[in-house]
Structure 1
Amino acid sequence: MSTESLFAIVVLLGLLGIAVVGDLRNHRIPNMLILLGLGLGLAGQVYSAELTGLGYGVVGMFIGFAVFVPMYALGGMAAGDVKLMAMVGTFLTPHEALSAALLSLVAGGVCGMLIVLVRGQLKQTLQRYWLILTAQAYFAPEADEVAGKPFPYSVAILSGTLVSLFGLPLGL
């Protein structure tokens, strides 16, 4: 791994760490952090590979955005999460961006299931999903059901990105 790549990963993980802290504290990811990250990611790509790097950064950004925007459109995540994943993509190659985005979705599912388990609502949640499958209709979560409440998805984005970079990149 080159010095430039290592530096870019450290910067990316620092930005993700700041996003996680803000998301946990305020349930928001500041737009200024996203803009700073977009600029740093694209600048780093240009520095390391010139025009090709810029292309990688832009395509990576669109991949991160495109993978997450359907979840936003369906009401399953906030706009800040979509923008954060797009920012992550600017630091990565297109292949790495796709891997990080998909693994972040998996991490989000794991986080969601852990929250359901910790809150003791597994039976209630499974019953609602069974009803959805059998009736082929959507049933919104009850007011007291944790499955209907948002959680700081930046944690899943950080987790998926870490696994993609250091643990289990998808062989797409």
Structure 2
Amino acid sequence: MPIEPYLDLSLLLLVCIAAINDLATRRIPNRLLLTGLACALLLHLLSASPGASVLKAFSGMGVGFAIFLPFYLLRGMAAGDVKLIAVAGAFIGPEEAFEVAVLTWCVGGVMSLCVVLMNGRLRLAFTNIRYLLSGFMVPGIHMTDMPLQQSAGSIPYGLAIAVGTITVLLRHYG
């Protein structure tokens, strides 16, 4: 049974619901993510070669998680966003999870720049970037030792993940 169309349709539904929820409440519910993960794993188990398919799912999940985890640790992203990209990776595998992550960074960057410019907080954004980079460049300074800076603005990153995911899925069918 070819499972790819079912995986793609389920993933499309997942990221759309997550984006709408993130826009409305600024949260991505764990229940939605667990349901999505269960759906991905079930579909992979129904494939012609379940062992390889489930391995692909876990690899994609690992890639999505590993790529976005540093942003969460730097307080630049919420945990729901990291979990969403990981679950998306479970649907599409490691190569496409990487593609989605890169597209998501681009979309998220444009969204962030728009929010910063609309709120007149460009100087604060550069101050915060310098603050984040100093934790990497100055020996002996740890991020936890430094006081939190004021946010220059936040975006519903679930929307950026949805746009990145939809773009990759459209390439398959377009």
TM-score by length of 1: 0.80
Q: 1:87 to 1:117 in 2, by over 3 A?
A: same
Conserved? CA contact 2:121–2:152, under 8 Å: no
**Residue type of the partner of 2:69?**
V
* 1:1-172 matched pairs, under 5 angstroms: 4-48=3-47, 49-122=49-122, 124=123, 128=127, 132=130, 137=134, 142=150, 148-167=152-171
SS at structure 2 position matched to 1:38? helix
Conserved? CA contact 1:37–1:87, under 8 Å: yes
Conserved? CA contact 1:46–1:52, under 8 Å: no
Identify which of structures 1 and 2 has the higher relative contact order when contacts are C-alpha pairs closer than 8 Å and 6+ apart: 2
Identity of aligned residues (%): 36
Tell me how far apart the structure 1 counterparts of residues 118 and 2 of structure 2 sit (CA, whole Å).
Answer: 41
Q: Which residues of structure 1 form unaligned runs of 5+?
A: none
Tell me how far apart the structure 2 counterparts of residues 91 and 101 of structure 1 sit (CA, whole Å).
Answer: 14
Tell me how far apart the structure 1 counterparts of residues 68 and 169 of structure 2 sit (CA, whole Å).
Answer: 19
**Residue type of the partner of 2:12?**
L
**Residue type of the partner of 1:28?**
R
**Residue type of the partner of 1:47?**
L
Q: Deviation of residue 116 (structure 1)? A: 2.1
